Chain A
């Protein structure tokens, strides 16, 4: 029977990190003890087996999902430490006057730009006007986006940015700076800058922007909520619907029941099944469905909300949804998110194959399941897509886990 010290020598031998003294002691031990030789062989074989375990590469390319989360959290890398600004060489009042002049010019410049922007987009009830109510067309980029998507918004092209600001020349003794920026845009008409009684300023125009609307999931069956939400869902052809949940995974069960009650066939990303077993893990789910009527969508949400409310009435801990539903016409960032999730933009790539029988189908995935490797389930779902049906919409539904 080997002593604890002898066993330590043997494991150190397997580790390959021994002092010269230890090496000598192990040598003597192995010479005299058959048991020591046997144990050493077994330990070395165990180590060899571990080393020979097959390399398991990441099943998906994590770079997209990580960068998406980084953007979503809008937490930039720590900024580099900038050198301290040189001391001011001009009197403060000159700087203030220059700043005021810049603000005035930029403010009027921005106003002038808005006058020849894109045609107005369908608006939510928060906006006063909805010019294109009767016109169902492909969703256009809204004028404003929620703050958490501001980073994704395409910047205005340089030719739209009007500025006449030139930085002051370097003060005496200061190193030369880069040449001042020369904006190729012609300077605004100086008449525009005049204040009061100048007809050249022009009329103000209303701007329609798709702002999100917020609904109470648990109250959709009350009053005219459902009717109003149906009307909202008729204002565009594609929507992002964000359902806030205390527990993304446990609330997905309610949503799944509501979807299946409407005979929506669900296809799952293969990794979602694993997530659905882990109820304590933070998971945001994404459900994409199309060729669904506004009424269907409202019925699905209402059913999920009513089920949740009734369960919570019996036992408060059973409330799984947080209660809020945010509805917004799909915007470019949403379409980019769908490209990441589905591998294509479903809004711009509608198939022409007509459905043989009316069927609703949805694809369920989650936000880390992104990357170039398309699972078979996704391919099957995409191959099963059919042409757009009149009166239906596309829905990118996000089940957002809030926790708590």
Chain B
């Protein structure tokens, strides 16, 4: 009979073996792509697009933007494939590109939302948080989920990013710090503020 400790070790061993297997296969596809086989890159896209889209979708306001960001992330990854050193998982590297692209987009949209054209009309329509509450035609949203979406939409790009990375991707402070290229202390304080801000927004929405 195995005790909890052994089971944990077994799970970790299996998980890390799977991780190594995926990593080796990714590296094989990357090598083929660098040899000129673009179909190999297509395989990498199909492998990670759903997971990447899911994360990015939670970072931006709607499906169209999420598609743009994910597509742009894959294109940027392809462009700089020769700079991928293999010292991290391919998905981690890709994820970093996508998250940074999403954060840049969110920042840009906040700025653009304030820009008026010469006639004083808004060039870009203000973001409608309800876009986020119906992310897909087929998804049915419970009221609680709707509230959560609305609250997440109101967080800043940086706060939303750390919450999504922590809770959806299960990342540690150190991983997030590396991905976002900020100190660990910054991650810690961003998460702290993000959680409190989210709580406050949810409480206000409940009133």
Interface residues of A (CB under 8 A from B): 7-8, 11-12, 14-15, 17, 39, 42-43, 46-47, 49-51, 53-67, 69-71, 75-80, 271, 274-275, 277-281, 317, 368
Contacts and interface: CB of A to CB of B under 8 A. Distances in A.
Nearest to A49: B148
Interface in B7-63: 33-36, 38-39, 41-43, 45-46, 49-50, 52-54, 57-58, 62-63
A65 B144 CA distance: 35
Q: Chain A contact residues: over half helix, strand or loop, or mixed?
A: helix
A334 B52 CA distance: 31
A46 B199 contact: yes
Given A7-B192, A15-B191, A278 B78 contact: no
B71 interface: yes
B135 interface: yes
B35 A67 contact: no
A66 B195 contact: no
23 contacts: A12-B188, A12-B192, A49-B145, A50-B164, A50-B168, A53-B145, A59-B136, A61-B46, A62-B45, A62-B70, A62-B74, A63-B42, A66-B78, A67-B39, A69-B71, A70-B38, A70-B41, A77-B38, A80-B34, A271-B64, A274-B62, A278-B64, A280-B112
Given A46-B202, A70-B78, A279 B168 contact: no
A2 to B, nearest CB: 11
Interface string B69-111: 0110011001101110000000000000000000000000000
Contacts of A78: 34, 81-83
B163 A50 contact: yes
B49 A63 contact: yes
B173 A15 contact: yes
Q: Chain B contact residues: over half helix, strand or loop, or mixed?
A: helix
Those 9 A-B pairs whose CB atoms lie nearest each other, nearest first:
A78-B82, A58-B53, A57-B50, A63-B42, A50-B167, A63-B45, A274-B64, A11-B192, A58-B49
A58 B188 CA distance: 30
Given A49-B144, A65-B71, A70-B78, A56 B168 contact: no
Contacts of A50: 148, 152, 163-164, 167-168
A80 B34 CA distance: 6
B204 interface: no
B67 A60 contact: yes
B131 to A, nearest CB: 9
Given A54-B139, A55-B54, A77 B68 contact: no
Contact of B74 (A7, A56, A66): A66
A43 B136 contact: no
Interface in B110-161: 112, 118, 123-125, 135-136, 139, 144-145, 148, 152
A15 B64 contact: no
Contact of A51 (B41, B135, B168): B168
Contacts of B191: 11, 15
Contacts of B78: 66, 70, 77
A282 to B, nearest CB: 9
Contacts of B63: 56, 59, 274
A281 B198 contact: no
Contacts of B152: 50
B182 interface: no
A164 to B, nearest CB: 27
Nearest to A44: B195
A70 B79 CA distance: 9
Nearest to B198: A46
Nearest to A80: B34
B64 A70 contact: no
Given A53-B168, A66-B45, A70-B78, A280 B124 contact: yes
Interface string B165-198: 0111000110000000000000010011001101
A75 B79 contact: yes
A42 B173 CA distance: 22
A378 to B, nearest CB: 15
Given A11-B195, A56-B135, A61-B46, 12 more contacts: A7-B196, A12-B188, A15-B166, A58-B53, A59-B67, A66-B75, A67-B38, A79-B36, A80-B34, A80-B35, A271-B64, A278-B64
A331 B187 CA distance: 53
